[in-house]
Structure 1
Amino acid sequence: MKKCLVILCLLSPLAALSQDIQLTRTILDTLTSKTMWGRGYTNNGLEKAAEYINAKFESYGLSPMDGKTYKQHFSFPVNTFPGKMELKINGQALVPGKEFIVMPESVGKIAHGKLIQKDSSVFISATDRIVLILKDKLTWSVSKHVADYTGIEVIKPMAKKPETIDVNIENQLVPDFKAVNLCGIVKGTLQPDSFLVLTAHYDHLGGMGSSTYFPGANDNASGVSFLLSMAKYYAANPAPYSMAFICFSAEEAGLVGSKHFTEQPLLDLSKIRFLINLDMVGTGETGITVVNATEYPKEFDLLNQVNNAHNYLVRISPRGKAANSDHFHFTEKGVPSFFIYTTGGVKAYHDVYDQPEHLPFTEYNDLFSLFLDFNDKLMK
């Protein structure tokens, strides 16, 4: 009997982590589903994702950060593509997302005309203000404004040089798109006025037309899934410090949600001991990269000490300060912060191929354990 108890005690942490990755997979599949429509600006995709995360916070028993609601409201302008997304080159129809994308700042257009070659990869229809660019990879993004032209990127190679173009693209500028950050807390057992903060953006690119959406599995359903698993863990196992969890919106539109939070914070920023931002954590074959490592060498050294003691990851690579995710505005406000992303594995990024079935979560268990141990060290 004693042997059985010892074995169960040894296995229980592993069982918990196994359960966590199952939960993470379920969350990932939900956030990247067609229903969520790329967690963007058409088909209520972003709103549906927010409601899903809100329900998770509630079910885990997190407290609203402001004491009333998990939602922090804000708005911003965004250019959307809700309807027609049709393109023919030399009379041949191309597939949106896979064979072409529209530049996010583009104005809608219905036109037919000849193309003039400007260089090896750029073609224009001057009368219709259309620019067509041949690209090796199609990478989409989000724009908060509308230009006076229609830009289209087409994947190389084409069977024949582009000579004619037929386009039917619909755009709609939403001047005050409504969005929310989701903010919850697990109160600390010893020092509830000191905070460790975990953040991840839940928005992605949304849809391009009425039939194409960008799932955003690694970017950043992976980070949100990881954050929610951590939130569930700490809700069941409160730490000495308060643990705060923030899912930001509008990161892809220019770090809008995190900027709003730092300008109208729901907790005292000076009481944040440390913040870790998760963005693209679905791989890990070659380790992780830590942005701001050079800004906070003491914490970076501590992270490496934890990793070396347990051999969690093959490598932790340092990187300097960068405005490339939601940690940035916190750093600018003096909040000690890391932005962590995994490396190796899948290469899909801001395209229709960033899908959940391609995401291995290779180092999920090790990364989860690394975070638990690192957080524990930060609270001592």
Structure 2
Amino acid sequence: MDRLKRKAVLFFWILFVVSVSSYAQQPDSLLLDSLRVEGKVLVKTLSSDLFWGRGYVNRGDSIAADYILSEFDSARLDTVYAHTYTHNVNVFPDTVELAINGQPLRAGVSFLVEPWSPSIKGDFEVQYISIQDFLDDSVWGGKIRDAKDKAIVIDKKEMEGLDPEEIKKLKDIFDYLRFHEDNPAKLTIFLTDEKLTWSVSQKVMGKPTIVLKTNLTGDKLKKVSVHINAELIQNYEARNIVSQFNSAKSDSLIVFTAHYDHLGMMGLDAFFPGANDNASGTSMLISMARRLGMISRDSLDYSVAFIAFGGEELGLVGSKNFVKDSVLDIGKIKLLVNLDIVGTGSEGITIVNANKNTEVVNLITELNDQYGYFDSIQMRGEACNSDHCIFNKKGVPSIYIYTRGGVKAYHDVDDKAETLTLDKYSELVLMLMQLIEMP
């Protein structure tokens, strides 16, 4: 970076500190623009293919952890360290191929392999079973037996208009097909016209399952060719990354968290960037950490910690291990703010656990009333839908903030940096920095 650029960055940092310390005026547009540009650079970096989707193929999560560790270290706070833990994970490191009636299909766009699926390779005849067949107790058992060594095809588009009891019955049968080894079929393919949404799994279970997005009806599928290579990695080593800035007055903590892991790769072609989920929240931690050192520690009533968790998409594994291993004394945490999916904001923000944390919610509302950061702040009750949950269960005052509006991409190949607006990235960073300085 040349001298002019360094001066510009320093100018923006000083402008930021003046803004968050004075509470005297509306945030400067130059400040907001500069923060948003910074956020876009960070999100673009974290969601680039250099990080392999921050999942477990090619240790993408570990590459991301190294990057975050370096960024926290560059912020020149007091302590930066990694907390290591292990978990199992099922991955699809290379071949994921599917052809229907001889036509190859595109992984991640036309189909997904359910994350618990084992490996499979071969050409299979199709046994189409209609939804009405499954609802007839005199029919569906025989249909499944007839599917021995075939691919069962189920058209979920046929489920429209079913009542709750029928849907529950189908779920039980479908779970049998997915998860039980005594299912005589070789694999199951579900047809859908809905958005494809993927996840990750710590286990391998049952028979291979594929979700195929298509306008075809089940009776039109005649032949399936599939080659899927799955690998269960046991005791995979993962990390949480922690940075802390110590107040001169107190060792009580305000903690900001975000998970940095995402879904990674499904084979060599299906790349899940995870820009909104959750490169956005991770970038926000870095933006805040970069600026915290510009604030006098004498002015802070509480110390501040930033934690970037791994393993959230696997079931909050990183935060569970963090609390289990007593990495921090959670009794010292005055407030934990979790940031997950914060890359939009045109419709406002939502605060989860608001009903249990009225004091901080009132502070946030007052700041928004004064500065007009968000058009709307909605309140939700308790929900165990991100890393705050583990701390909330231990009695730590914890809220979870996410933004609303804009792109709807989620757990798919379209959650990209180039389509993420970061409408209220700057405003949320600024508000949280103000929250740090409030008594």
- Shorter-chain TM-score above 0.5: yes
- Per mean C-alpha deviation after superposition, the further-off stretch among 127-136 and 322-331 is 127-136
- Residue among 131, 149, 160 paired with 2:188: 131
Residue 220 of structure 1, aligned match among 271, 278, 281? 278
Unaligned runs of 5+ residues in structure 1 are 1-7
Q: Secondary structure at the match of 1:213?
A: strand
| Partner residue, 2:145 | none
Secondary structure of 1:190's counterpart equals coil
Matched, 1:199 2:242: no
Query: 2:187 aligned with 1:155, yes or no?
Result: no
Partner of 1:39: 54
> In 1, are the aligned partners of 2:112 and 2:212 still within 8 Å (CA)?
yes
Moved more, 199-208 or 233-242: 233-242
Aligned residue pairs: how many? 366
Q: 1:221 to 1:328 in 2, by over 3 A?
A: same
**1:146 correspondence with 2:204:** yes
Do 2:86 and 2:238's aligned partners in 1 also have CA atoms closer than 8 Å? yes
Output one character per residue of 1:292-344: Cα deviation in whole Å (capped at 9) or x when no partner: 00111222122112211221101111111111000000001111010000001
DSSP 3-state at the match of 1:173 = strand
Cross-structure match for 1:56: 71
Is 1:168 matched with 2:227?
A: yes
- Deviation of residue 86 (structure 1)? 0.3
The farther-off stretch of 217-226 and 259-268 is 259-268
2:247 to 188, 191, 200: 188
1:103 to 107, 114, 127: 114
Decide which of 77, 90, 97 is 1:86's aligned counterpart: 97
CA contact (8 A) 1:111 1:128 kept: no
Conserved 8 A contact 1:81-1:207 = yes
Percent identity, aligned pairs only, is 40
Q: Among residues 402, 406, 409, which one is paired with 1:341 in the alignment?
A: 402
Distance 1:9 1:288, change over 3 A: closer
Counting only pairs closer than 5 Å after superposition, residues 368-379 of structure 1 correspond to structure 2 as 368-377=429-438
Match in the other structure for 2:366: 305
For residues 279 and 204 of structure 1, the distance between their equivalents in structure 2, rounded to whole angstroms, comes to: 12
For structure 2, the residue ranges without an aligned partner over 5 or more in a row are 1-13, 20-27, 132-152, 156-176
Residue in 2 aligned with 1:178? 237
**Would you say the 8 A contact 1:200–1:247 is kept in 2?**
yes
The structure-2 alpha-carbon separation of the partners of 1:244 and 1:360, relative to structure 1 and needing over 3 Å to count, comes to same
Distance 1:56 1:89, change over 3 A: same
SS at match of 2:290: helix
State the shift of 1:375 in Å.
2.7
C-alpha distance in structure 2 between counterparts of 1:42 and 1:317, whole Å:
37
Between the aligned partners of 1:50 and 1:9, the Cα distance in structure 2 is: 30
Determine the C-alpha separation between the residues in 1 that align with 2:78 and 2:317: 24
TM-score of the pair, normalised by structure 2: 0.80
Task: Determine the structure 1 residue equivalent to 2:88.
Answer: 77
Partner of 1:3: none
Partner secondary structure for residue 265 of structure 2: coil
Displacement of 1:9 in angstroms is 7.1
> Counterparts of 2:248 and 2:109 in 1: how far apart (Å)?
51
User: Contact 2:17 / 2:295 at 8 angstroms: preserved in 1?
Assistant: no
Larger relative helix fraction: 2
Shift of 1:107: 0.4
Q: Please state whether the residue corresponding to 1:134 is helix, strand or coil.
A: strand
Pairing partner for 2:325 from 264, 271, 276:
264
Q: Compute the displacement of 1:370 (Å).
A: 1.8
TM-score (norm 1): 0.92
- The 1-side partners of 2:43 and 2:56 are apart by 19
